[in-house]
Amino acid sequence: MTAHSTEQQREAAATPPPATVAMDRAQAAPAPAAASILALNNIEVVYNRVVLVLKGVSLSVPKGQIVALLGANGAGKSTTLKAISNLLHAERGEVTKGSILFDGNEVHNLSPNELVRRGCIQVMEGRHCFGHLTIEENLLTGAYTRADGKAAIKRDMELVFSYFPKLAERKNALAGYTSGGEQQMCAVGRALMSRPKMILLDEPSMGLAPQIVEEIFEIVKDLNDKEGVSFLLAEQNTNMALRFARYGYILENGRVVMDGDAKSLSENEDVKEFYLGISGGRRKSFREGKNYRRRKRWLA
């Protein structure tokens, strides 16, 4: 009981959130749509016609930026990305409400292949390379929707190899036999081959060693800087994601509970508590953290 009351005191004493952080999405207007390449407006997703997974998510990705979508397991990050790329249908999911604008056009009824054609491609969680195809063939499948000829595709292949020199070394290896890091690079490279304006990157850090994760994030940043590709990045690795993204949204239980630019998010006391496991400058024990989070969620 005493632990409980100190918790409350600390919460009361916590500094008020910075101005950019909007705690209540229902009242906050979505970011200006003019410069955004992707804008979700209050979308709802239902699986199997009964399970409501996203309960009104709004977010926007400005052109040429990296935006992070953060949250715990089951918060709805992957579902959000699949709702955008229209891969939900295969999992018996459906967008029942709201609108999704890509490059100013409503895309919510387009097939995944039409969306790729228009420049929005997803890199799925868990990499999903084609195991029985070589790395090179994997990359070529990414260019399936393109009609600008072999020479252009060849040029882009060289470009991908320049960003991922490891892939060039292993280009004749079957993707199924390459390492997890190489597969993740292959998946990102394959997406690049479609000449995207935007990549929906789902959990690139999954199951990879910290060094490799670092390497992949650096390349993502590079691609963003030099090729102007926008990224919507779903991550559980909050720390890493906020280092590379410019803006972040935090999902919990199918709702955006907080958003703000990356710097203010990573300095926010709540984010520190919930997702980085630090408060008052010290790392908390796991037990404390959980306790706090449970109460806080009930309040939200």
Partner 1 sequence: MLGPIIETFIGGLLTGILYSLVALGFVLIFKASGVFNFAQGAMVLFAALSLARLSEVMPLYIALPLTIAIMVALAYAIEFLVLRPLINQEGIILFMATLGVANFLDGFGQTVWGSDIYKIDLGMPKNPIFIFESVFPGGLLIDPSELIAAVICAVLVVVLAIFFQVTRVGRALRAVADDHQAAQSVGIPLNQIWLMVWAVAGIVALVAGMMWGAKLGVQFSLALVALKALPVLILGGFTSIPGAIIGGLIIGAGEKLAEVILGPVLIRAFDLAGGGIENWFAYVLALMFLLVRPQGLFGEKIIERV
At 296, which amino acid appears?
K
> Least distance to partner 1 from the beta carbon of 57, Å?
20
Task: Work out whether 171 is an interface residue with partner 1 (CB under 8 A).
Answer: no
Task: Work out whether 176 is an interface residue with partner 1 (CB under 8 A).
Answer: yes
CA distance 241 to 249: 11
> Least distance to partner 1 from the beta carbon of 206, Å?
15
CA distance 38 to 31: 11
> Least distance to partner 1 from the beta carbon of 141, Å?
5
Judged by CB under 8 A, the residue of 22, 31, 72, 124 near partner 1 is 124
Q: Are 4 and 246 in contact (CB under 8 A)?
A: no
CA distance 25 to 215: 34
Task: Work out whether 194 is an interface residue with partner 1 (CB under 8 A).
Answer: yes
* Residue number with CB closer to partner 1 (208 or 265): 208
CA proximity to 194, closest of 147, 143, 153, 154: 143
Helix residue spans in 132-209 (DSSP H): 135-142, 150-163, 165-169, 180-192
Task: Work out whether 145 is an interface residue with partner 1 (CB under 8 A).
Answer: yes
CA distance 236 to 247: 15
Judged by CB under 8 A, the residue of 140, 159, 206, 276 near partner 1 is 140
Task: Work out whether 72 is an interface residue with partner 1 (CB under 8 A).
Answer: no
Task: Work out whether 239 is an interface residue with partner 1 (CB under 8 A).
Answer: no
CA distance 220 to 218: 5
* Interface contacts to partner 1, rule CB under 8 A: 85, 87, 89-91, 111-113, 115-117, 121-124, 128-133, 137-138, 140-142, 144-145, 174, 176-177, 190-191, 194
